[in-house]
Structure 1
Amino acid sequence: MKVRADVAEMLRAGVPHSRIARELGVSQGTVRRTNHALGLPAPLRGGRPSRYPTLVAVFRGNSEETEDGHVRWTGYRDASSNTPLLFYAGEKTPAPKAAFQLHYGREPIGKPLPTCGMTGCIAGAHLADRPMREANARADAAYDAIFGALSTNDEPPQGT
């Protein structure tokens, strides 16, 4: 795609798409395609700049670490499902999904759930997606097959 220098300059300066289209006499589609071709983030509705420059900053600005290493969401929650959501680059993402991506560097497969026992914990290291949970279940079954299932009063075997 051939990029118009005047459109690119205004986009890099953070001018809202509608204003660029109006002032330069181009379509908003041209502005949007140029924005995409330059690799710039999608604008927020209303052309407001983000309070946070990165996804990490959004996550950290809307969560808090507890004294025992868990992370609690302090930001926006969906009114109907109570799902913690973060908003970045014009998109909304469930906070556990973002935490998983930031920690593991990949998209979760299925819903990431806490494995630490704290309801609602979103510490990346405390989250597991479906393949991780399935692998843990297989490992637990193998352990039980080798050593026998432990009751809640039993202690795990000690090394000799």
Structure 2
Amino acid sequence: MKPEKWERIARLLKAEYISNREAAARLGVGKEAVAEVRSDLGLPRFVLRRTWTREEFEALAPLIRGGHRLWRGRRSPDGTPVAGQNVTAYRVSFRLHHQREPVGHVKTACTRKWCVEGSHLADDLLRTAAVVDAATLPELPAEATWRGMDIVAIRRCLRGPEPWPALTLAEARFAFRFSNPDMGAAELGSRLGLRAETIQRYRTKGVPS
């Protein structure tokens, strides 16, 4: 095998958790060549995972700037992060973070495309909770969780000292409704994980539904 060919295959195998068949198709080489390079690198055989531990998932989705996670595993033809047969990395990450099965579709709730950080994902339940009219709730619910949101984390972000826990976009928007209007936009943004400009926009135009 030519060194250039070996290097191309090696770069892909080290960058992504990918099957020999998919790597061969993507690079236009034979599966035998991919298997040979995989063996040379000492990489384990590709297996579609049915269950994930947090450590396994985070090994393929390292944290990057801004608290986002970049998926280095397989992707569907349209770019969606894939963690196994008929399951996206979004659903796996959501399950690991929230310790429950997601309801409906799981989508990225932050501004980073393809982010798979669990706290940045929202299912149908969280998206529904985000649009609840705060006028019906004079104060934060007393429960630890409410409609899939971590009320304890929200309280800490609104009233507690640093470090503040990471909130989902749905939780941050919900928390904003109960925030102190006299608090500076920069400080409130830091507490909720939002930009100061976003806080100002929410105050002048309202929270998006």
The TM-score, its normalising length taken from structure 2, stands at: 0.39
The TM-score, its normalising length taken from structure 1, stands at: 0.50
Structure exhibiting the larger radius of gyration computed from Cα positions: 1
